[in-house]
Chain A
């Protein structure tokens, strides 16, 4: 069981918007920056968002994120078939003294 909670799956049609949630605690999300990773089938994870809201160079602005209290969200707008992947949230947990991840959300484009 993961320290951060994510819904197992979400789906939407091409062009639509999906919102992925990530729930934690005061020792994890509540007091630390959140990152989001995209893992396309059969590949290594890739950094999508860091420091709660920032996009690395090359990540399109269709991907955006926010954080409020002990929860974070990732929004994907203008959904494309190439966005079909697993998405993970991650942060540091000050009580566990280690990095933690959510269980991942599988995004399916209908």
Chain B
């Protein structure tokens, strides 16, 4: 059974930093891209970043470029999101999601999602 478990959310002041983690199990981690997707309170889904199976390629939402960094540790079957310079508009539930398989470039779906971790940016 595929499981994605996020952790690391919490309350942080504007300008502060937070590091989110996602532990994956139930599938061959190194065969998949992985992603972070967020959802502000009462709003829709917004893709944040994704990372290639070997960590060699990363893509980011324009509004987080230069502030957020996605990374992965394949030995620990985990991905991370280092968030610096946090703003009120970053307040959201952050979901870890299994992205496309490494060998299917055309795939665009997120096959599995974690339960999310809430990040609140407020003074």
Contact = CB atoms under 8 A, between A and B. Distances in A.
Interface of A: 2, 32-35, 37, 39, 43-47, 50-51, 56, 86, 88, 90-92, 96-104
A43 B107 CA distance: 24
A50 B114 CA distance: 18
Minimum-distance CB pairs A-B, first 7? A35-B109, A99-B47, A50-B109, A44-B113, A104-B44, A92-B108, A101-B45
Contacts of B46: 101
Interface residues of B, number: 23
A47 B109 contact: yes
Nearest to B113: A44
A32 B61 CA distance: 18
B95 interface: yes
B28 interface: no
A87 to B, nearest CB: 11
